[in-house]
A and B are shown apart, each in its own frame.
Chain A
Amino acid sequence: MCLLQFELVDKHLDRRAVLQQLDLSIQEGELLVIIGGSGAGKSTLLRLAVGLERVNAGRIHLDGVCVDSPADGVFIPPRRRRMGMVFQDFALWPHMSCLDNVAAALPGDDRSQAMNLLRRLQIDELAARRPGEISGGQQQRVGLARALASRPRLLLLDEPFSSLDVDTTEALRLEMLRVVREEGITTLLVSHDPVDAWRLADRIAVLEGGRLVQCASPAALYAQPRTARIARFTGAEGGLDAVMEIRDGVNGVRIAGHFLPATPQDVSNGDKCNVYARPEGVSINGADGIPCELAHCAFESGVFRAYWSLPGQARWLCTLENDPPPPRGRLYTDVQHVFLYPMENQT
């Protein structure tokens, strides 16, 4: 059942279109991760969902009820939407203790229930302290407890790990997942970190320039990244300049006289395009591949990430090697990991 639905939503801020014709729905019990670059409209989407901003056009439905529609003159304020939100910078009220921060969000200021929530998140010993007296990770746990306090229909998480260090992020990510799954709360998480999406998402929605470009399960997204940015998000590198051609019914490009099979996305035969390949689909063994030179090599968590320079190309392709790579080699690719996208302005 659909819990939250954006229907052709437009949002402008300072006369700039932040979201355009957004069509997106979230199913009950689902954990949807929204990803995108800076200015893609991720946080605005979240703020529209909770009611901190109003749409300029289109409708938002929550649990089948229209909560925001300028055309119909409908707007339900945040406090009546029964949602919980965890803010990027925690947004804990500094003059209150952790316990009071949670209790204030409970109907009737129920302090014992607030205490239970803190205990559930293993921070009950911090109850009497104020936010300024605890660490960032602990603050985020208090923020989560506060968001869960009103037993929300929908939990919104706005880049919840971006202010935390790596260790705390990893621990809190799993902790949050556990709590959300146990409570069965529908969750919308906004992040710019691909790891959040891979570790947490049931589905991933990708925003680019205020438009929803793809919304799919992590596996589907990995198999068919619709844009170059999504390909990069799945680990692809490159951006080599080429022209698409079809040889013996196989799509691909020709680089340094060698044909490279590839999966085109919105590219036709004869179009100029950019080639992206994931390291797991590129290897340098054999004699018939494209000749290449090692440009750079970095030791990375037990493997060598090797950057290969191809003839006539300014950009590199990557491989992951178990042993130190040779200075030269011949490069092969797996069609499942090589994608072609329309030529873009590269910087």
Chain B
Amino acid sequence: MINYRRLRAAPLFGLLLFTALFVIPVIWFLLGAFSSSTSSRTISIVAVRNSVLIGIAVSLLSVVPGLALGWLSDRWVFPLRRLITPIIWLLFLFPSYLLTTGWQIVMDAPWMRDSVWAGYFNGVLGIIFLLTMKGLPFAYFTGLAVWRMLGNDLFDALATLAVPRVRASRVIITLLLPAAAATAVVVFVETIQEFGIPATLGAAIHLPIVTYAIYTQLTSAPPDFRAAALLSLPLVGLAVMAAAVQALIHHRRAVALKTRRSKPLARCALPQSGRFVAALAVCLFAIFGVLIPLAGLAYAAVGGASGTAGDIAAWSSLFNSLCYAMLGAALALLGVFAIWPALRARGTWYGQAVDIMTLVNMAIPGVILGAAYLIAFNGGWLPLYGTPLLLVLAYGAAQVPMLLRLLQAPLSQVPRGLHEAASVHVANHETRLLDVRLPLIADPLCWGYALAFGAIFFELPISELLYPPGRPPFGVAIVAFNQALDYTQAARLGLAAMGVLFLFGAGAAGLMHLAQNHNRKYHDVPVAV
């Protein structure tokens, strides 16, 4: 029986908000697959098949290098080790459509255009290669966490007890299996939901991939919503299924990892031969993951590649993106605050409902959320389609599940007593909020805002589907340049966007630093009595 007395207004509001802005539009869109209207076009099962096969291939290709990089970074000392993390982060933040554009520029260079490598790149192998590069950061982060959880004790115990090498290897592989499976599943889901690479290289080589196929159904004249919904169902179903498989594997096999405490480890120096191989691996990773595409973009930007005359209006897309990202990230944070009480109310039905819904919604790719908003707000009671407000709203809603999960741990780690002490001792509402509660959670909030900002700034599928006419975000402009083979403009815009983001990040970090110093000075002034 529902205990209505335990129901509080704040969690209920959070639950309703999340349902209204996320659950209902998505379900409405997906249910369109079962509508009676007949599709004007045939549904491309090939796109689904391609996505699944590419997803499997990319998962398999990413897991071993990801775990190996995590192992090298966590356990060993060798030249260039410190480069691994920055490269991984750079690759993680590199928008996939810019990565693709960089490689396309290189492969389009006169000395490469007719080579066998360009042939491979402009095909399914190129797609797999690029997606593997984008999947590596996920595999690395998961791998690193696993190696840290394993700790040194296990290896020390195996060495001390003189366990035979074969049996020791079996023990370690058994412990790593759940992690490898989890990594593969994460990479698989990320791969099948990826939009930037299918929208650029995929479109260029006419390889049907499900995310771009959904987009095509919605943007071709006339749009076919039922076909888009039909294509979305397997995408969501695969992600949910993959998450369930991961949970099952984790539940069955991860006891040893779960119960271990992580502690800092002392790294050992790699033997001479190993050092060379490890350094070479890091070099190759840096070159293929970041340096070549960046060099390609730089080469094209200075006018080395073919291209048409620049469109000055496209540069305003940078300013548009900046505004959208600032507003969208703020909206996402507000959403997190609204939903947080419901998520915190563990043990209640509405707490569990929000927990499950936010988990499931992480399996909803941007293209589906964009399509859902396109339908839900296209006329009817709230005709917001084509307005900046809807775009910002969609950006915010897309970031909320990720932000909730990201902020859950740091916000929960603030000791409960600190908030309770404020409730007991500080009578003034303003002091309680501004001087005590907000500073306690300021750091995670700033990080959350920065991440949401970055994600929205480089966002593509929602932008493509919902941008207001005449005010496109820069991702849309870049893909338009890319599809028109105007790499010079695409590269210039992309590099400028990276510069703007860097300046924005540096400025924000500087402001935070100043604010912290000011706060410290204010609080540290001794009082004369």
Contacts and interface: CB of A to CB of B under 8 A. Distances in A.
Contacts of B427: 79-80, 107, 150
Interface stretch (A91-99, A187-195, A228-236, A333-341): A91-99
Interface string A146-167: 1101100000000000000000
B469 interface: no
Given A14-B347, A95-B519, A147 B5 contact: no
Most buried by B among A83, A99, A105: A105
A93 B427 CA distance: 16
A127 interface: yes
Given A85-B425, A104-B436, A93 B347 contact: no
A163 to B, nearest CB: 12
B164 interface: no
Contacts of A128: 524-526
Interface string A194-215: 0000000000000000000000
B523 interface: yes
Given A93-B418, A104-B431, A115-B529, A78 B424 contact: yes
Contact of B423 (A14, A77, A114): A77
A52 B427 CA distance: 14
B222 interface: no
A130 to B, nearest CB: 8
Contact of B425 (A51, A77, A88, A150): A150
Nearest to B420: A52
B268 interface: no
Contacts of B436: 93, 96, 104
Contacts of B417: 87-91
A111 interface: yes
Contacts of A147: 425
A105 B427 CA distance: 7
A105 B426 contact: yes
A320 interface: no
Contact of A89 (B5, B415, B432): B415
Interface residues on A, range: 35 or more
B114 interface: no
Contacts of B415: 89, 91
Contact of A149 (B425, B435, B523): B425
Nearest to B423: A78
A112 B347 CA distance: 45
A36 B436 CA distance: 33
Nearest to A50: B424
Given A91-B417, A91-B418, A104-B431, A83 B424 contact: yes
A95 B440 contact: yes
B529 A91 contact: no
A309 interface: no
Interface in B432-488: 432, 435-436, 439-440
A50 to B, nearest CB: 6
Given A95-B440, A104-B426, A105-B425, A87 B420 contact: yes
B529 A52 contact: no
B513 to A, nearest CB: 15
A96 B526 contact: no
B524 A97 contact: yes
A184 interface: no
Given A14-B347, A79-B427, A149-B425, A97 B523 contact: yes
Contact of B527 (A14, A91, A115): A115
A339 B439 CA distance: 56
Interface string A4-19: 0000000000100000
A83 B428 CA distance: 15
A109 interface: yes
A149 B436 CA distance: 16
A116 interface: yes
A70 interface: yes
A70 B417 CA distance: 25
Nearest to A87: B417
A146 B425 contact: yes
A98 to B, nearest CB: 10
A112 B431 contact: no
A84 interface: yes
Interface residues of B, number: 27
Given A97-B524, A104-B435, A87 B421 contact: yes
Contacts of B425: 79, 84-85, 104-105, 146-147, 149-150
A112 B423 contact: no
A51 B525 CA distance: 34
B1 to A, nearest CB: 12
A55 to B, nearest CB: 12
Nearest to A149: B425
A97 B524 CA distance: 6
Contacts of A84: 424-425
A94 B422 CA distance: 12
B74 to A, nearest CB: 28
B426 A116 contact: no
Interface in A49-93: 50-52, 70, 77-80, 83-85, 87-93
A241 interface: no
B529 A85 contact: no
Nearest to A88: B417
B421 A85 contact: yes
A95 B527 contact: no
Contacts of A96: 435-436, 523
Contacts of B527: 99, 111-112, 114-115, 127
Interface in B327-366: 347
A100 interface: yes
A145 to B, nearest CB: 11
Most buried by A among B523, B525, B526: B523
A279 B378 CA distance: 84
Contacts of B529: 112, 115-116, 119
A270 B440 CA distance: 62
Contacts of A104: 425-426, 431, 435-436
A150 B423 CA distance: 13
Contacts of A116: 529
Nearest to B432: A79
A95 B424 contact: no
A79 B527 CA distance: 26
A152 to B, nearest CB: 9
Contact of B421 (A14, A77, A91, A100): A91
A149 B427 CA distance: 12
B20 to A, nearest CB: 29
Contacts of A70: 5
Interface in B481-529: 519, 523-527, 529
A175 to B, nearest CB: 20
A73 to B, nearest CB: 11
A83 B421 CA distance: 11
6 closest cross-chain pairs (CB), A and B = A91-B417, A105-B425, A91-B421, A111-B527, A87-B417, A95-B439
18 contacts: A70-B5, A77-B423, A78-B424, A79-B423, A79-B424, A79-B427, A85-B420, A85-B424, A91-B420, A92-B421, A96-B435, A100-B435, A104-B425, A104-B435, A107-B427, A109-B431, A127-B526, A146-B421
Given A78-B423, A91-B421, A128-B525, 18 more contacts: A52-B423, A78-B424, A79-B424, A79-B427, A79-B432, A84-B425, A88-B417, A91-B415, A93-B422, A93-B439, A100-B435, A104-B425, A105-B425, A105-B426, A109-B431, A114-B527, A127-B527, A128-B524
